[in-house]
Amino acid sequence: MIPVNEPLLNGNEKKYLMECIDTGWISSEGPFVRSFEEMVASYVGLQHGIAVCNGTVALEVAMSAIDLKPGEEVIMPAFTIISCALAVIRRGGVPVLVDVEADTWCMDINQVKDKITKKTKAIMPVHMYGHPVDMDPIIYLAEKYGLYIIEDAAEVHGAEYKGRKCGGIGHINCFSFYANKIITTGEGGMVVTNDNRLSERARLHRNLCFKEGRRFYHEELGGNYRITNLQAAVGTAQMERIDEFVGIKRRNGASYNKHLTDIKWIQKPVEKKWAKNVYWMYGIVISETTGFTAESFARQLSEKEIATRPYFLGMHEQPALCKMGFFSNESYPVTERISKQGLYLPSGLTLSERDIQKVAAAIKEIMPK
Ligand SMILES: Cc1ncc(COP(=O)(O)O)c(C=O)c1O
């Protein structure tokens, strides 16, 4: 089976992990946590990094940092992972959806303005599968209406918008380092910001809101969202190679583009002229005229020993959220279509050119002639 992803851990990961074990620094107090935070923050051009135990809680910590209050709204794409909506709902906030663009699969910035109300507190652009959101119109609206921008950069380590690193543009931004991410710590996440106050609040909320100077006294409710020195050791080793990893992803993306070029039944990822796409996962959307859905197509590929993963299901189609009364009678046609027809192909850092050729040949064989 060609797997969808496999992490590449053959740099200094083992050496740094041994250092943790030899010195006994295995908790969140160890020195790799700071080095990892500094590496990620400075990579995206920001001052503060606050490492946490996964990308989902990074979003929750960001919401706590901006002090999202019950009833306040956050505008986000319908097409994303549930973590985005969850972070808002956990604080009693309201996720407000817009559809995504048919070509980039990122938040449709033309729909954002109409969703701004007196209760809007933030806009959450989610960079999708390696491609950045068009940020300038979001920056314009955020400045005009006094809103926070919270980038979800979980899928775009190294991607750029007009020469700026994704995850370095919003007021407070989030990364995931899950095992399928370009930089991984197994499980892990980070909040990054340039704002001293937001950084302080994020640190507080990561660590149970322990008050400085009076340890077991809490003025707010936080969580234990800390990352371990072991995870940060792996992250430090991974960050040493980020340029190499981004290069591999882009090379794989270009290779898929080349080998899939003459198949008219699939929509391939784009790279807008203002964007650097890192092809975190190489996604495709299959034309309905083939008679395939993503699910039936994935089954055919699986028979040929090629693993895939389906696209996200829209937030407005999530039973758990609908049961809570969110999004009733809302429809987001692009999200609905790509949820049914989209899937992503093997995209890991260990993928070979031969693997890509095998995947492309299998797709050609399955498709109608
Ligand atoms: C866009 C996006 N945001 C947030 C997350 C959540 O990250 P984690 O799995 O580390 O909780 C993910 C997924 O992994 C993601 O793809």
- Pocket probe mutation, ligand 1, options 178, 183, 231, max atoms within 8 Å of Cβ: 178
* Ranges of H-type helices in the chain: 13-23, 31-43, 55-65, 82-89, 135-145, 196-206, 229-239, 242-259, 294-303, 319-323, 333-341, 353-366
Quickly tell me which residue has 């940060």 as its tokens: 232
Alpha carbon nearest to ligand 1 atom 1, residue = 154
Tell me how far apart the alpha carbons of residues 315 and 228 are, in angstroms, rounded to a whole number: 31
Give me the chain's average pLDDT, please.
Answer: 97
Confidence of residue 352 (pLDDT cuts 50, 70, 90): very high
Distance 79 CA to ligand 1 centre (A): 13
Task: With H, G, I as helix, E, B as strand and everything else as coil, classify residue 250.
Answer: helix
Q: Which atom of ligand 1 is the closest one to the Cα of 54?
A: 10
Write the burial class of residue 307 (CB in 10 Å: 0-12 exposed, 13-18 middle, 19+ buried).
Answer: middle
Can you give the pLDDT at residue 262?
A: 86
pLDDT (tens digit, 9 = 90+) per residue, 194-246? Answer: 999 999 999 999 999 998 888 899 999 999 999 999 999 999 999 999 999 99
Distance 164 CA to ligand 1 centre (A): 21
Tell me how far apart the alpha carbons of residues 77 and 109 are, in angstroms, rounded to a whole number: 9
Alpha carbon nearest to ligand 1 atom 8, residue = 55
Distance 365 CA to ligand 1 centre (A): 33
Tell me how far apart the alpha carbons of residues 58 and 71 are, in angstroms, rounded to a whole number: 21
Whether 290 and 265 have beta carbons less than 8 Å apart is answered as yes
For domain 242-366, is the CATH number 3.90.1150.10?
yes
Is a pLDDT exceeding 90 seen at residue 247? yes
Domain boundaries in the chain? 13-239, 242-366
Rounded mean pLDDT, 300-326: 98
pLDDT (tens digit, 9 = 90+) per residue, 39-97? Answer: 999 999 999 999 999 999 999 999 999 999 999 999 999 999 999 999 999 999 999 99
Tell me how far apart the alpha carbons of residues 252 and 155 are, in angstroms, rounded to a whole number: 16
Can you give the pLDDT at residue 58?
A: 98
Can you give the pLDDT at residue 211?
A: 87
Write the burial class of residue 191 (CB in 10 Å: 0-12 exposed, 13-18 middle, 19+ buried).
Answer: buried
- DSSP E strand boundaries for 53-131: 73-77, 94-98, 120-123
- Pocket probe mutation, ligand 1, options 5, 59, 81, 191, max atoms within 8 Å of Cβ: 81
Confidence of residue 33 (pLDDT cuts 50, 70, 90): very high
Q: Which residues contact 329 (CB under 8 A, 6 or more apart)?
A: none
Buried b (16+ CB within 10 A) or exposed e, 138-165: beebbeeeebbbbbbbbbbbbbbbeeeb
- Quick one: CATH architecture of 13-239? 3-Layer(aba) Sandwich (3.40)
Can you give the pLDDT at residue 47?
A: 98
- Pocket probe mutation, ligand 1, options 4, 76, 155, 191, max atoms within 8 Å of Cβ: 155
pLDDT (tens digit, 9 = 90+) per residue, 129-141? Answer: 999 999 999 999 9
Instruction: Find the residues whose C-beta lies inside 6 A of ligand 1.
Output: 54-56, 80-81, 83, 126, 152, 154-155, 176, 178, 189
Beta bridge partners of 306: 2
Higher pLDDT, 177 or 264: 177
Question: Percent of the chain scored above 90 by pLDDT?
Answer: 97
Can you give the pLDDT at residue 115?
A: 98
Question: Percent of the chain scored above 70 by pLDDT?
Answer: 100
Tell me how far apart the alpha carbons of residues 364 and 121 are, in angstroms, rounded to a whole number: 47
Is a pLDDT exceeding 90 seen at residue 369? no
pLDDT (tens digit, 9 = 90+) per residue, 3-28? Answer: 999 999 999 999 999 999 999 999 99
75 is written with which tokens? Answer: 């505008």
Q: Greatest CA span in the chain, whole angstroms? A: 71
Can you give the pLDDT at residue 212?
A: 85
Distance 294 CA to ligand 1 centre (A): 21
Confidence of residue 368 (pLDDT cuts 50, 70, 90): confident
Alpha carbon nearest to ligand 1 atom 7, residue = 55
Can you give the pLDDT at residue 314?
A: 98
Roughly what angle, to the nearest 10 degrees, separates helices 13-23 and 229-239? 150
Can you give the pLDDT at residue 267?
A: 97
Q: Are strands 160-161 and 164-165 parallel, antiparallel or unpaired?
A: antiparallel
